[in-house]
Amino acid sequence: MKAMFVGLGAALLLPGVCLSQGGPLSLPEALRLARERAATVIAAGGRVEEARARLLPAARRLRENPVVELTGGRRQAGETFTDFEATVSQGFEPAARRQARIAGADADLEAAQAGLEDVRRTYLGEVDAAFQRTLAAQEKVRLATQAETLAGDLLTTLERRSQMGEATDLELNRVRTAAARARADRSAAESERLEAGGGLRALLGREPGEPLAVAGTLRELPALDLAPLLARAAERPDLQALAAAVRQAEAEVRLGETREKPDFALRTGYKREEGADVVSAGVSVALPWIARGQEEQAVGRARAASLRAQLEAARRAAETEVRTAFAAYRSRVQAVAELERTAIPAVEDNETLAQRSFEAGEINLGELLLIRQEILEARRSYLDLLLAARLAAAELETRAGAHR
């Protein structure tokens, strides 16, 4: 009996164990699987390939296809002539236009890549939180199972005493009620574990019947400092995506400005007229009198101004999010530390003292059941605080862009 109390006291101090036939999954492994198998990340990756594909035509030096013209006819002026003419022309654009187009395509690719990183950041944060909930649910199952074992052992003892006439029916019924409650608590904890594990399984893309258990301990709270987190938040992918969008809008403005310069085309031709061969060459120039890129410039400037404002607001919001999440995490850690300094050592002592006192007849059955219930509630509160702290850490790291 004493060994069971000691085991119950150590329940929250040990790493999680496998509750299924499959091997336990650590947090780094879960995050690796999320990177590889996350459907949302794969979909965002397709956006990157689209942007990369648009970069190729933007870098071409010739934007227009060559134009071939053929004309011919017959005429009669004393004698019959068959005249024909063939010309080939190729249009060119200013070098600055190609550079602006490449800059816009590069910025679009950077925005797509940053968007992929941002999807991965938030998705890995969800996996981290789901992992912690699953780990906590496993701990609850273990805690409830050990409490059920203790209640069953006590029931066996009281049944034997009842047969010997040393326990009343009231005492026996109270113990039976406590044992039934312990069994119900274990079933509820198992249900919570299945639910939490199902959420993690779905995020990792595992098959419905595939075994899943996690390994770790909630007590390993990460040591996080504000300054490095703020530095990482300043480089968060969603901010990089907005910055790339600003550069893309600025490239659109530059592209519109190049419309103010004339386009030209080189032309060469050959014709036969009245039996004579004529070879010609020339240049055609499109004068920018009407269409001067006014719309592209106006739209690009408005879009760039709006995106700059969004970027500045997003940077301030990111810093506020990190500072708020950091303060919340520190409060959670302090709450855990308070219980570890005072309540948990007392719980350890009370478990052993209560059992010894009951066996020595110093306390009655009702007092023992009450003490056990208080101990169980204290451990559940401790477990809830540990989970809240780990979830706060996952939220803080996600806000700071630590998950990549």
Query: What is the 3-class SS of 36-72, one letter each residue?
Result: HHCHHHHHHHHHHHHHHHHHHHHCCCCCCCCEEEEEE
Which of 132-136, 194-198, 320-324, 356-360 is predicted least confidently?
356-360
pLDDT value, residue 237: 93
- Going by pLDDT thresholds of 50, 70 and 90, the confidence category of residue 329 is very high
* Mean pLDDT of all residues in 143-168: 86
Token pair recorded at residue 93 = 């654009």
Which of 146-160, 167-181, 277-291 is predicted least confidently?
277-291
Query: Residues of 180-203 as b/e, b for ≥16 C-beta within 10 angstroms?
Result: ebbeebbeebbebbeebbebbbeb
pLDDT value, residue 76: 65
pTM assigned to the model = 0.77
Q: Best-predicted range by mean pLDDT among 8-22, 23-37, 98-112, 387-401?
A: 387-401
Task: For residues 70 and 15, give the distance between their C-alpha atoms in angstroms, rounded to a whole number.
Answer: 83
Per the CB < 8 A criterion, the answer to whether 327 and 255 are in contact is no
Bridge partners of 73? 83
CA dihedral 120, 122, 123, 129 (to 10 degrees): 140
Per the CB < 8 A criterion, the answer to whether 108 and 246 are in contact is no
Whole-angstrom CA distances from 270 to 235, 260, 266 are: 60, 33, 14
Q: What is the mean pLDDT of the chain?
A: 83
The per-residue pLDDT for range 180-234, each reduced to its tens digit, is: 999 999 999 999 998 998 899 888 888 777 778 889 888 888 899 999 999 999 9
Question: Which of 391, 346, 286 is CA-nearest to residue 64?
Answer: 286
Residue 341 DSSP class: I
Per the CB < 8 A criterion, the answer to whether 9 and 377 are in contact is no
pLDDT value, residue 3: 36
* 218: amino acid identity, one letter: L
Token pair recorded at residue 342 = 């005072």
